[in-house]
Structures are given as C-alpha cells and as structure tokens.
Chain A
C-alpha cells in the first residue's frame, strides 16, 4: 500500500523516449507537462464554450466567464488605474492558469502543477522580467531610482544594497508562497487519507477532517490565484508609476 504522502508530487516521464534533446539533455514529456496542457485546454474550452452563444441574460456558464473577466479587470483598475489595462491579457492569463491548476489539482488522481517550485518560480520570473522591461521602457535609466529611497547620502550607501536585495527577493517570495501553500495542503490531505485506512472503523474521524480540509483547500486555491495576480498588479504598478506615492 502506497503510504508516502510526497509520492503525488513526483514528476515522471510518460513515454519511454525523450521528446527532444537540447544540448545533451533529454527532454521528456512528463505528467507535469501533460497536466499543463490539460489546464490550458480546460481554460480555453471554458472561456470559448461558455460565451459562444452570447446572450443578453447570461447563462450560468457565461456569467462565470464574465465574472472572472470583470474580477481581473476590476483588480487591475483599482491597483494600476486605466493605463494598467494594457496588461490585462497578461494578468488574466496568469490568474486563470494558476486558478485552474490549483482547482484541477484538487480532483483525485490529477497532478498539481502549481505544487512544483520550478513552475511557480518560472511564473514569478516572467512577472519580474515583465516589470523590469516595462520600467526601463517607460522611464529609461530613471527606473533605477526605484532602489534609491529618500535619505541622506551616507545612509544611501547602506540602503541601496538593502533595497536591491529586497527587490531580488520578490520572485522568491512570490513563487514560494504559491508553491508552499499547494504543497502543504496536498500533503496534509494525503497524510489524513492514510490515517483513514490505518484506523479502520475509527477512520471516520480523519475522513471528516479531510472533508473540512478539502473545503479549506478550495478556498486556498482561489485565494492564492488572487494573491498571485494582485501582487503582479502591485509590482507592475511600481514599474508604470515610478515614485507616484511620494
């Protein structure tokens, strides 16, 4: 009987033969790659099928699609203002990808893409790189004043390195937050599930716990997607409107 709660996070190739060979490294098509494709397909199907028959009074599906659109649009409007809407496609894609990965991961026998640090760190890197490119395109070298707080010059010698390190930690804290939440939740579920089998009849107690934790995990799935998207908005806002809060 498989009792290892970490087994669910194992990345394994689905086919014997590697898909590609890049610079001596074999690239396999893994279960992780498969579930990323599933997530993208699910989002595309959800958004195209529900709005294909465009009605004035929306059906349940259509209003779900419209709600997610308006939710992200409102979030961008309230954090970045009107000109932030240029980033709508980017943030909406990120939000839907994280949300659907989290939610599909809750279905039994699936693989949670966002429980892999490689995936969340890649997403966070894309966010920070977008922020840096936007900042330099909009403000040129003046973007570097992001690292210079208002202080006398002798304190700046100390404060600028601190601000630089603080900036460099953003992709880490952004990715670790999402990854740790998903990893912890799914491990907890697996541990309690093994108690159900071990305890026999008394296993009804951990079974009830699983129901409660599962409900909590649904909440966490939404919350983490929201947090990821809103932090992206806040970071991009800093690049767009440099030092506006002064």
Chain B
C-alpha cells in the first residue's frame, strides 16, 4: 500500500489544476486579431471563386470532349457565379464562427 499523500503535495496539485483551468479559460476567449480575420475571409472567398470557375471550365471541357453539345462558355459563366455565391456563404459561416467565439460561446457547428 502506498504511503498517504503528504498534504503540501496535494495542495500543490490543487493549485496546478486551478492554474490550468484559469489558463484554458483565458486562451479560449482570446479573440482572433483583425489580420487573422482578414486572411480567413480572403482565402475562403478566393478558394470558392477559383473552385467554381475551375468546375465550370471542367464541365465545358467534358461536354466538348465527350459529346457534341457546345456549352462553352455557359458552364463557366454559371459555375463562376455559383462559386462566388459559395464564397460569400463561406465568409458568412466564418463570420458566424468568429462571432460565436468572441461572444465566449463554443463554436456552434
């Protein structure tokens, strides 16, 4: 049977736990800087627009290559617009996450 824990060691453990709790709470509520937010929004918007344009280009290419339908440039036009919409959707979602984080709540997703 191990010897009982000395009192001061247990007190030290309690203090360490408390300090740990304090620190995790502090780091959780730290808001992202405006540079972080700008970079996040930028990549989200850019990625979606590029993705939409690339998909549209791919659709046009596929129709051109495997069928006689001439969709060019309509696939790219439509998908570019949808991509831009998806980008704005991404930015809105990112903004919601950041708002939730700043309000001190957990990210609801």
Contact = CB atoms under 8 A, between A and B. Distances in A.
Interface of A: 74, 78-79, 158, 161-163, 165-166, 168-169, 172-173, 176-177, 180-181, 223, 234, 237-238, 245
Contacts of B46: 176
Contact of B51 (A78, A79, A172, A234): A172
B25 to A, nearest CB: 11
Contact of B82 (A78, A165, A234): A165
B89 A162 contact: yes
Contacts of A173: 43-44, 47, 90
A169 B51 contact: yes
Contacts of A234: 107, 109
Interface string B70-109: 0000000001001101110110010000000000001111
Interface of B: 24, 28, 36, 39-40, 43-44, 46-48, 50-52, 55, 79, 82-83, 85-87, 89-90, 93, 106-109
B82 A162 contact: yes
Nearest to B55: A165
A169 B106 contact: no
Contacts of A161: 82
Contacts of B51: 165, 168-169, 172
Given A78-B106, A177-B40, A234-B109, A162 B86 contact: yes
Contacts of A169: 44, 47-48, 51, 86-87, 90
Given A165-B55, A166-B90, A176 B107 contact: no
Specify which of A79, A165, A223, A245 lies most central, judged by the most chain B CB atoms within 10 Å of its CB: A165
A136 to B, nearest CB: 20
Contact of A165 (B28, B83, B107, B108): B83
Contacts of A163: 86, 89
B48 A166 contact: yes
A78 B52 CA distance: 33
A168 B50 CA distance: 11
Contacts of B39: 177, 180-181
B47 A172 contact: yes
A237 B109 contact: yes
B108 A245 contact: yes
B109 A176 contact: no
A245 B96 CA distance: 13
Contacts of A168: 51, 55
Nearest to A233: B107
B89 A180 contact: no
Contacts of B108: 245
A94 B36 CA distance: 21
Given A165-B55, A165-B86, A177-B43, A172 B109 contact: no
Top 4 nearest A-B pairs (CB, nearest first) are A165-B86, A172-B47, A169-B47, A166-B86
